[in-house]
Amino acid sequence: MPEPPQDFQKATDAELVTEAQTGTRGQGANVEMMRRLRNALENFDASTTRYSKILMWLTIVIGVLTAAQLVLTVLQLLHGP
């Protein structure tokens, strides 16, 4: 049986899974894996929020440009060639 990691934070994911399945300290390995998952989700949420804000502003810019193009088209139709 592999030697259990002394410090769960320094262990690889594979070592934590093995420890959780076979070791007597399995609960600590489960908690460490959940901590890593939570950190990954928080980082993902932060980047998703940033990209959502960028997309919102780009959508507003596209809306303004579309409105300007519509106004120019109407003006051209009213004044003729």
pLDDT in the model for residue 1:
43
What pTM was computed for the model?
0.50
Compare 63 and 46 and report the one with higher pLDDT: 63
Count CB neighbours of 39 within 10 A: 10
**Mapping DSSP to helix (H, G, I), strand (E, B) and coil, where does residue 5 land?**
coil
The average confidence (pLDDT) of the chain is 81
Can you tell me the distance from the alpha carbon of 7 to that of 20, in angstroms, rounded to the nearest whole number? 14
Backbone angles phi, psi at 49, to 5 degrees: -60, -40
Q: Can you tell me the distance from the alpha carbon of 57 to that of 54, in angstroms, rounded to the nearest whole number?
A: 5
pLDDT tens profile 15-47: 777 777 776 665 667 777 788 888 888 888 888
